[in-house]
Structure 1
Amino acid sequence: MADSLDICARELLDVMPLVMQDLRRTMRSQSAPDLRVPELRSLAFLRHNPGSNLTDLAEYIGVSLPSMSKLVDTLTFRGFIERTPDAQDRRRVRLGLTESGLAILAKAREAVKASFVAKLAKLEPQDVERITTGMKLLHSLFALAPDTDVANG
């Protein structure tokens, strides 16, 4: 069992960069060539976490607060993000997507999905089903809260 876990983990580590590279290429070329991947990732984060603050977003993207502040300024100027004062702490600002932000994100997602569909169409139907089953398992595994103990959960 340990060997199969090791092999599976290695395969996951090997395939993730390839998938992300394809995703980035598609997002740049087809959906929103004028948006960089960190900007699109920021929009996606805010779609799933409306009302987050700058610190939350910077931690997720993995950049410094000054870098994230500049990125948010750009996205706000372009009309993709709106800032709202925090009701409990006036020094803080909550971030959310505008309709334009939601639209550009939906366009990017559709372009990436179409690219994935084109690649998956080259496989046999039973292989697509196997991948789908595996992806659902991975989704349920990685969707667990970060502090959840998988062995005891």
Structure 2
Amino acid sequence: MGLEQTSQKTTSKDCAAKVMETIPLVMRAIRADMRAIGSTTLSVPQFRTLAFLDRNPGTSLSDLAEHLGVTRATASATIERLVQRNYVHRNDHPQERRRVVLKLTEDGLHHLEQARKQTRDRIADLFSDLTQEQILQIEEGLILLKQVFEQTVEQRQTDYLESP
């Protein structure tokens, strides 16, 4: 193994460690800011639920539970609270009696958009003291990170669909 390969492996491992160290920190800061500024009256799992339903309209309770990393019962309780607030429509699937179809209501979408806007504004405030060059570096790094993970997710979905 040459020096370049060793250096590259070390660099990718160092980068992976930084990602694993940084992403949870960013998420904790976002959650804390959301609670502190009252950008939403939703819990983080409820907010994540609305965001998931926005990206995946008509999804099932099982898909939501998998996304949240919780049981179907926990996901069902979360959905029930959101239905009561008129943020989510829960309907029976037309062909599968035991399946539920979940969609955001207009109120749910509006609330999600408001929470996202307030959170984006707060993050923008955090970046306000950075130079344009620093902001561009962060943006370029995030674009690259997103591309890497999107490719990984797409490949795993393809592999899953092709497996016997």
TM-score clears 0.5: yes
How far is 1:93 from its partner? Answer: 1.2
Which has the greater radius of gyration? 2
- Asked whether 1:61 is paired with 2:68, we answer yes
Deviation of the 1:39 alpha carbon: 0.3
Q: Verify: 1:112 aligned to 2:119, yes or no.
A: yes
**CA 1:87–1:144: 2 relative to 1, 3 Å:** farther
- Structure 1, unmatched stretches of 5+, are none
Paired residues for 1:1-153 under 5 Å: 1-30=8-37, 31-32=39-40, 34-144=41-151, 146=153, 148=155
Identity %: 35
Choose between structure 1 and 2: higher helix proportion. 2
How far apart are residue 131 of structure 1 and its match? 0.8
Aligned amino acid, residue 85 of structure 2: R
Normalized against structure 2, the TM-score is what? 0.85
Alpha-carbon distance between aligned partners in 1 of 2:152 and 2:140, rounded to the nearest angstrom? 21
Amino acid paired to 1:51: G
Deviation at 1:26, TM superposition (A): 2.0
Letter of the 1:92 partner, please give it: R
Q: CA deviation at 1:144?
A: 2.4
In structure 2, C-alpha distance between the alignment counterparts of 1:28 and 1:53, rounded to whole Å: 28
Aligned residue for 2:162? none
Using the TM superposition, give the Cα deviation of residue 146 of structure 1 relative to its aligned residue in structure 2, in angstroms. 2.6
Contact kept? 1:28, 1:37, Cα under 8 Å = no
Which amino acid in 2 is paired with 1:74? R
Superposed displacement of residue 147, structure 1: 5.8
- Given the two structures, how large is their TM-score scaled by the length of structure 1? 0.91
